[in-house]
Structure 1
């Protein structure tokens, strides 16, 4: 029997088939096991591509912090990390279309191998903004990782080098992804249940 949990209740981390967040119903879409398996594959590919080099990972806050932490564990070569923070959603389910930089990169990226890590790419506006900012630093190379990609809602011509999963154009929460800052702590990813 499927169970449903309301995230406003005090309870252990979700393993339920469905959950309620901000009054809306979400169903389990990707388990932690599936996420970890895919991140391990990406980590192996990065380790092979950058063997003999020390890439710097640029994690986009807040959503990509969990992806980045787990992905780094699967990268077997030396690497560094820095963070930038953007805002394009606020507390809404749909991007505002306006990207604002809230925290800049601290590291010197000139001549470095840079890998930008995002939790999700949907419209592509945030990634386009990030890549333009990164190019201005004159890196030796620039690659992208996103755990989730919504190909049907991508409005920009952005190259994604490593994609975890292509997903439908529905709102997702969990594993760093939030709905009004709630649900980032869920170990699995849930997708809006339209039924």
Structure 2
């Protein structure tokens, strides 16, 4: 028996086409960044990481829930031996940061002496990232770096050394590609911003 591969792109599915406006809960969102631009940023970051970590075996620590798409696509582009682990933290309610970080699910892996790369979807106030850097740094890794897909420099309230940034954006509230508004919007491959 022979199987014939049929590309998904030929099947019409309106959710995967860039829509002019989407509604999530009580908010309207308009197109911001197409999936192709997001993927280009991911591939560029992966290229830098492949070069900088050549000869090493880093452990990527993906921050759930928002970074799941970014982490998946980033690791598909890695050409070096690497591992992935997950940590879940929360500091958002609705569309604004609470400023309080709660660790919900911690690492099971021993990270002492390892080269760690925190994979985050977005860094805005920096509260979450500062807490993660302190938490993981206390476990004595060989090195500790941050790779974020999005950075909002005008929102930062902490001095952070973020070596790997995919896209620098203004202070817009965005959804899509893993980012959500109260649980909705993560599934869109394109990125939308609140109107």
Q: Provide the TM-score with structure 1 as the length reference.
A: 0.91
Q: Does 1:183 align with 2:175?
A: no
Q: Which moved more, 1:18-27 or 1:170-179?
A: 18-27
Q: CA offset at residue 146 of structure 1?
A: 0.5
Aligned residue number for residue 136 of structure 1:
138
Aligned residue number for residue 44 of structure 2:
41
Aligned residue number for residue 8 of structure 2:
none
Aligned residue number for residue 57 of structure 1:
60
Structure 2 matches for 1:88-167, cutoff 5 A?
88-90=91-93, 92-167=94-169
> 3-state SS of the aligned residue for 1:87?
strand
Q: State how far apart, in whole Å, the 2-side matches of 1:47 and 1:98 are.
A: 34
- The Cα offsets for residues 136-162 of structure 1, whole Å up to 9 and x where unpaired, read as 110001110111111111101111111
Q: State how far apart, in whole Å, the 1-side matches of 2:91 and 2:144 are.
A: 22
Q: Does 1:74 align with 2:71?
A: no
> 3-state SS of the aligned residue for 2:76?
helix
Q: CA offset at residue 129 of structure 1?
A: 0.3
> 3-state SS of the aligned residue for 2:56?
coil
The 8 Å contact of residues 15 and 188 in structure 2, kept in 1 or not, is answered as no
- Aligned residue pairs total 183
- RMSD across aligned C-alpha pairs, in angstroms? 1.2
- Alignment gaps of 5+ in structure 2: 1-12
Q: State how far apart, in whole Å, the 1-side matches of 2:170 and 2:146 are.
A: 20
Q: Which runs of 4+ in 1 moved over 6 A?
A: none
